[in-house]
Amino acid sequence: MNSDLEKYFDRLWPICRSITGNGLRESFKILQEIIPLELEEIPTGAKVFDWEIPKEWNITDAYIITPAGKKICDFKTNNLHILNYSVPQNTGLTFEELKSHLIYREDLPEAIPYATSYYKENWGFCISYNEFKTLPKEGKYKVVIDSTLKAGSLTYGHLLLKGKSDKEILLSSYLCHPSMANNELSGPLALAVLYAKIAALKDRKYTYRFVLAPETIGIIAFLHKYGKDLINNLEAGYVLTCCADKGNITYKKSKKENTLADRAAERVLKSLAKPSEIIPYAIGGSDERQYCSPGFNLPVGSFIRTPYQKYKEYHTSLDNKEFISFEKLNETVDTVFEVIKTLEQNKFYINTIPFCEPQLGKHNLYPSIGGTWGDVKLVHKMLHLLSYADGTMDISDIACKRNLTEADFTEAIAKLTEAGLLKEK
C-alpha cells in the first residue's frame, strides 16, 4: 500500500489546486480511482450562509523576468510561487512597484511561503527571502500571470456508504492547497485509504459519510446543502489533516468535548503502545470550525499528527515529500480505523438475568473445578459485562471501567450473547 500511496501522491503533487478550478477537478479525478466520490459543482455567486461562492480561478503560467533577463518565481517550477487567485498581469515594473507584490518570510529564508487572496482581487508572487535579497533594485522587471478569474463553479466531493443504520459516522478532509505534502495531500490520501478499509468491513452498523471539499468555503457549501442531515443523523465524525509528519498522533476534541466521537478516540489513543496527544477544541484549526459552529455543534473531532502551525514547514515549500513519511500516514489511518472498529462495536447491552450473577458453569462458561482457573481473564470480562449491563452505559463506557477498550470484550460479548445471558438493547 505504501508504494500505491506514493504513486498517487506523486501524481497529485505537481497539480496547482485552489478552492475552485481545473486543478481541483483534476485532483478529484485521480482520487476517484480509489474513493468513488460524487462531485458537485456550486456556481459562482451562490449564497452559502454568510458566504458567496467566488469566481473560478484557473492558471497556466506565471513568472517574473528580472532586469538581467533571468526568469524567477516560475509557476511551472513550483506552483507556490504564485499568490493563489492572482488576477492576470503582463506588465513592466520597477523594483519598488514590484516589491509590494512579493511575499517572503525573513524568519524562514530558504522557504517559498504559501499565500492566497481568494476574496479580494490582487496579484503577487511568493519568493524565498534568500532569493528576494539578491534582486537588483534598479532596472525594469517584467511580470506575467496567465490566469483567468471568472464565473464558474466550486467543486466538492462526497460519498455515502450505507450501513444497517441511518446513523452516520463522518470522515472529512480538504482539497485546495497547491504542492504541499503534510498539509494537505496527507489528508485526502488518508481519507481514500480509510474508505477502502471501511468498505471492506462486513455488516457495518453505521452509514459512513466521506467529505472532501475545499477548506472552509467548500465545507460551508457542503453544510449548506447537507448540514440538516448531519444534525439528524451524525453520531461521530473526524476531520483528517496533517496526517503524515513524524510527530505523535494527536486527537483534538469536539467542542462538546465528551461526545461518542471523543470517547472512542480517547480510548483508542490510550490503548496504543505509542505516545499520543489529546488536546482540547480550539479555534485555529480546520473544518471542525464549521462542523462545531454554534448552529451545528456536531460531535466532530480531528485526527492530526503535529498540529497546524506547530511545525515550521507549515504553509511553505518545505512541507514536501521529504518532510512526510508514508509509514506515519499509514499509522494514522490504522489508528482512525481502530476508532471506527470501536464505534462499530459500540452498543448498549442488557443482562437478561439481572438479579445475582447467572450460573456461568451451567452455561458452560466457567471452569468446572473451582480454584483451577481456565481463562480467568475471559471469565472476569464476562462477569464485568454482566455486572454493568443495565442498559445505562454503552459498551465503551463499560470497557473503560476496566481500563480496556470495546474491542477487548468481543469474545466475552459473543459468548454471553450466544448463551442468552446478554442481549443488545
- Give the residues lining the site for a second copy (CB under 8 A): 48-52, 83-84, 103, 113-120, 122, 124, 216, 219-220, 223-224, 227, 255, 280, 282-284, 289-290, 292-297, 315, 351, 353-359, 361-362, 368-372, 380, 383-384, 386-390, 401-402
- Residue number with CB closer to a second copy (197 or 224): 224
> What is each CA distance from 390 to 142, 387, 413, in whole angstroms?
76, 8, 14
CB of 368 to a second copy, least distance (A): 4
Cell digits of residue 227: 448540514
- DSSP assignment of 146-208, as one string? EEEEES-EEEEEEEEE--SSS-EEEEEEE---SS-IIIIIHHHHHHHHHHHHHHT-TT-SSEE
- Each as own residue / partner, the long-range contacts of residues 382-387 (CB below 8 Å, 24 or more positions apart, any chain) are 382/412, 382/415, 382/416, 383/357, 384/412, 385/349, 385/351, 385/409, 385/412, 385/413, 385/416, 385/422, 386/351, 386/353, 386/357, 386/358, 386/416, 386/421, 386/422, 387/351, 387/357
* Beta bridge mates, 232: none
How many angstroms separate the CA atoms of 103 and 90, rounded? 19
One-letter amino acid at 304 equals: I
CB of 285 to a second copy, least distance (A): 10
- Residue number with CB closer to a second copy (6 or 397): 397
Instruction: Give the CA angle between residues 215, 337, 230 to the nearest 5°.
Output: 50
CB of 254 to a second copy, least distance (A): 11
**329: helix, coil or strand?**
helix
- Residue number with CB closer to a second copy (99 or 164): 99
- Residue number with CB closer to a second copy (148 or 293): 293
CB of 126 to a second copy, least distance (A): 8
Distance from CA of residue 143 to its chain's centroid? 37
CB of 52 to a second copy, least distance (A): 8
Dihedral sign for Cα atoms in the order 1, 242, 261, 384: positive
Quick check: 232 and 36 in contact, CB under 8 A?
A: no
- Residue number with CB closer to a second copy (142 or 224): 224
- Residue number with CB closer to a second copy (275 or 294): 294
CB of 135 to a second copy, least distance (A): 19
CB of 276 to a second copy, least distance (A): 23
- Residue number with CB closer to a second copy (58 or 293): 293
CB of 361 to a second copy, least distance (A): 5
CB of 422 to a second copy, least distance (A): 11
Number of C-beta neighbours around residue 262 at 10 A: 21
- Residue number with CB closer to a second copy (103 or 407): 103
